[in-house]
Amino acid sequence: MRIVVKLGGSIFERAASKPFIEDVKTIYDQGHRLVLIHGGGRIVSEVSKRMGKEPRFVVSPKGFRSRYTDEEDIQIYSMVMAGKVNKSLVSAFLSGGLPAVGLSGLDGATVKARRKRELLIVDENGRRRIIDGDYSGKIEEVDPSLINLLLGEGYLPIVSPMALGEHYEPLNVDGDRLAAHVAGALKADALVIFTDVEGVILDGRTIGKLTYMEAEEVLPRIGHGMTTKVYAALEALDMGVKEVRISSGLRDKPLTEALTGDAGTLITHA
């Protein structure tokens, strides 16, 4: 199987831990080809604050919460995401016996995006307004050639959420949405999105399974953090991925349980 795994920034420390890496290695040793997409927004915010730059976030009318990335922010974002976070994970997985290779969506022009020149947001008073765009991007194309080359040689690609703009500028892209697009481009069998909660939670309980239509229906009723993950799941299904699992990366054997058990929320076409 080809499996794309999204590691949320909220489980960064867990993802770099020995038990987590051993579980990934178990799946890798069974012959499955894995690609890891990581987040790390919390670490970006911490570094940004230490550098005297207060992070700013905006919410779209659809409920997506995202980082506002100005010209100074994209420099910090690039340094932390493609540098500190990515290389920390690569080192950790190499130490666990996995042939990890770190890259960002910029490398090999793997991920191309259109820079958002204007942003429609909902302000703190609930009003819609348009603000100047930033260095975030809407993903337009994923070229799987470089990742396929690495997979063919047995490597474990670890990808940071950045993209190449039309003027060759680095752009910040959402990690969940990137994972969906990479999974689609690779014709992956499964996408697993790890977070720090058990799955999609509605009315205080974790939903075990959702069809495509059911997932669309619950979108307006879940929190900002989960909205993007469910939307990414729907995008992945639209692009041919067979199934998406949103699950906790804090379980004992998170990847094994997500792929072979009933952990988290499974989202399929029917």
CATH code of 256's domain: 3.40.1160.10
For residue 237, what pLDDT band results from cuts at 50, 70 and 90?
A: very high
The overall average pLDDT reported for the chain is: 93
The reported pLDDT for the residue numbered 63 is 75
**Averaged pLDDT for residues 100-116:** 97
- When divided into structural domains, the chain yields a total of 1
How many Å apart are CA 173 and CA 228, to the nearest integer?
12
The reported pLDDT for the residue numbered 118 is 76
Residue 33: closest CA among 62, 4, 7: 4
Residue 53 within a domain: no
Domain limits at 160?
2-42+74-112+137-268
**Tokens of residue 120, six digits:** 């429609």
**Tokens of residue 235, six digits:** 């995008």
Residue 124 is given by DSSP the state T
For residue 251, what pLDDT band results from cuts at 50, 70 and 90?
A: very high
The reported pLDDT for the residue numbered 9 is 77
The reported pLDDT for the residue numbered 60 is 81
Contact 38, 32 (CB under 8 A): no
Residue 101 within a domain: yes
Residue 175 within a domain: yes
**Tokens of residue 76, six digits:** 């910090």
Torsion angle (degrees, nearest 10) of CA 222, 198, 47, 191: -90
**Averaged pLDDT for residues 104-126:** 89
- Is pLDDT above 80 for 104? yes
The reported pLDDT for the residue numbered 225 is 79
For residue 267, what pLDDT band results from cuts at 50, 70 and 90?
A: very high
The reported pLDDT for the residue numbered 77 is 95
The reported pLDDT for the residue numbered 130 is 83
Residue 160 within a domain: yes
The reported pLDDT for the residue numbered 176 is 96
Residue 55 within a domain: no
By mean pLDDT, which of 52-66, 84-98, 175-189, 222-236 is the weakest? 52-66
- Is pLDDT above 90 for 173? yes
**Tokens of residue 196, six digits:** 């720090």
**Tokens of residue 142, six digits:** 């994923």
- Is pLDDT above 80 for 226? yes
- Is pLDDT above 80 for 55? yes
- Is pLDDT above 90 for 132? no
The reported pLDDT for the residue numbered 269 is 94
How many Å apart are CA 109 and CA 119, to the nearest integer?
25
Residue 24 within a domain: yes
Residue 52 within a domain: no
Residue 64 within a domain: no
Phi-psi region of 5 (alpha: psi -120 to 50; beta: other; left: phi over 0): beta
The reported pLDDT for the residue numbered 94 is 98
3-state secondary structure of 110: coil
Q: How many CB atoms lie within 10 A of CB 97?
A: 12
